[in-house]
């Protein structure tokens, strides 16, 4: 069984926001809401500045607080590791929004249900990469199967130093970051 996830190479990210636009277009994300974002952080004082580009998305955590806090079972984890929301079961109680340490969920104003990144599972079914990965100009987003040792993401994990967001939260995310500035 595959275990899908992503590695983000922060050194390559140029902050063009094409991933944000592609995600909105692909998933018809409602106005004012986003399934992915890019955080630009500038550290220091001119002229000694450091800039960090950090694309963020749902981390599809192994120990997902959104899943274990969902009262109706609408948020669930698939065998391939993708955290999904069963729209029919969602009551819009917002427990998952409060539970997510990454603030990656939102309530769709049209349907009232919680929404988030699905790693473009409809595209994965067709053998394609998620829209943000396909559209990334600098190949900063790398998608793959962590259970396949030959996949690009597994190779990166085997050889390079990677970090995850908020390890202290104990969520065990499946989105890893490499090449970030170390302060």
CA distance 172 to 22: 27
Q: Is 11 in the site for another protein (CB under 8 A)?
A: no
Q: Is 60 in the site for another protein (CB under 8 A)?
A: no
Q: How far is the CB of 150 from another protein (least distance, A)?
A: 29
Sign of CA pseudo-dihedral 4, 77, 62, 93: positive
Question: What is the 8-class DSSP label of residue 84?
Answer: E
- Which residues from 97-136 bind another protein, rule CB under 8 A? 97-101, 103-107, 111-113
Binding residue for another protein (CB under 8 A) from 12, 62, 93, 155?
93
Q: How far is the CB of 131 from another protein (least distance, A)?
A: 14
Question: What is the 8-class DSSP label of residue 135?
Answer: H
Q: Within 13 Å, how many C-alpha atoms sit on residue 88's CB side?
A: 0
- Which residues from 161-180 bind another protein, rule CB under 8 A? 163, 165-166, 168-170, 180
Q: How far is the CB of 154 from another protein (least distance, A)?
A: 23
Kind and range of the H or E element at 97?
helix 95-99
End-to-end CA distance of the chain: 38
Contact set with another protein (CB under 8 A): 15, 17, 20, 32-34, 36-45, 54, 65, 68-74, 88-95, 97-101, 103-107, 111-113, 163, 165-166, 168-170, 180
């Amino acid at each position: 069984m595959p275990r899908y996830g992503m590695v983000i190479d922060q050194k390559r990210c140029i902050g063009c926001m094409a991933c944000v636009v592609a995600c909105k277009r692909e998933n018809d994300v409602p106005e004012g809401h986003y399934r992915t974002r890019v955080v630009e952080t500038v550290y220091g004082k001119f002229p000694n500045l450091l800039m960090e580009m950090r694309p963020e998305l749902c981390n599809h955590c192994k120990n997902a607080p959104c899943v274990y806090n969902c009262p109706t079972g609408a948020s669930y984890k698939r065998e391939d590791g993708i955290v999904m929301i069963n729209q029919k079961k969602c009551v819009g109680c917002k427990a998952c929004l409060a539970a997510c340490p990454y603030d990656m969920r939102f309530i769709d104003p049209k349907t009232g249900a919680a929404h988030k990144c699905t790693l473009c599972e409809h595209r994965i079914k067709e053998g394609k990469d998620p829209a943000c990965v396909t559209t990334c100009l600098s190949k900063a987003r790398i998608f793959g199967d962590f259970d396949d040792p030959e996949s690009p993401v597994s190779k990166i994990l085997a050889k390079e130093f990677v970090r995850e967001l908020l390890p202290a939260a104990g969520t065990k995310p499946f989105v890893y970051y490499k090449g970030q500035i170390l302060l």
